[in-house]
Amino acid sequence: MAEIRAASVLPARREEITLHTSDGLELVGELALPPERPPVATLVCLHPLPTAQGMMDSHVQRKASYRLPALADLAVLRFNTRGTASPRGTSQGEFGEGETERFDVAAALEYTEYHDLPHPWLLGWSFGTELALKWGRDPLVEGAILLSPPLKRAGDADLDAWGADGRPVVALVPEFDDYLRPAEARERFKRVPQAEVIGVDNAKHLWVGEPYVRIVLNEIVKRVAPAAYPLPTEWDEPDG
């Protein structure tokens, strides 16, 4: 058995994909599937702010794609929103301040439907939480998991809409977040009666450090693939 570390990449069926938006753009992405079994659920990852180096390879969502297909039988779909670059490539278009990205969210969900990816959940981080709250109430979506939600672009009307909708919303809020800390988050999310707000002691907005990554991934799996909770910290590597 080998310890799962920050750089660990566990087995998965990985495929580079292209999403097509209804306004004519191509977005680059990757789909990671469990190595041997069909997925039990799907994470559609919405990354942090591209004007602040956010991209599909932002570390928490990259580590979700590296670990959760093998550990929890999850499909993990990551992509660059319009105008965003990463080692996978650059998506067409220009940053739309969270408005034209509505077409990007729709394209990702259309991909999950066309490819029969089961039980899609939105996994937004920072700017990605704004996209989830503003544009993610598609009938396909099972719920939303929000990492470090700033609640700037997404306002009370978006929260009210999710509250009326009733689907699960889980917000993981770092104790020392730069934008929204747990006490204020609990107050703001009162507009969403079903929301769970989980304050994470000592964490910061970027979730730097393996202990915080493990907390995040466990909280995701607890909701999306509960049979796999808690996640192991070691992996049985094959010989050779």
Q: Each residue of 69-104: pLDDT tens digit?
A: 999 999 999 999 999 999 999 999 999 999 999 999
108, 109, 178, 209 from 72: Cα distances, Å: 21, 21, 31, 21
Domain count, the chain: 1
Structural domain includes residue 237: no
- Residue 235 belongs to some domain of the structure: no
Residue 164 lies in a domain: yes
Q: SS3 sequence, 126-175?
A: CHHHHHHHHHCCCCCCCEEEEECCCCCCCCHHHHHHHHHHCCCEEEEEEE
pTM over 0.85, yes/no: yes
Per-residue pLDDT reduced to its tens digit, 10-38: 999 999 999 999 999 999 999 999 999 99
Residue 239 falls inside a structural domain: no
Which CATH number fits the domain that encloses residue 120?
3.40.50.1820
**Is it the case that residue 215 has pLDDT exceeding 70?**
yes
Q: Is residue 240 part of a domain?
A: no
List pLDDT tens digits, range 140-196.
999 999 999 999 999 999 999 999 999 999 999 999 999 999 999 999 999 999 999
What number is the average pLDDT over the span 58-77?
A: 98
pLDDT at 240: 40
Per the structure, the complete domain to which residue 84 belongs is given by 2-227
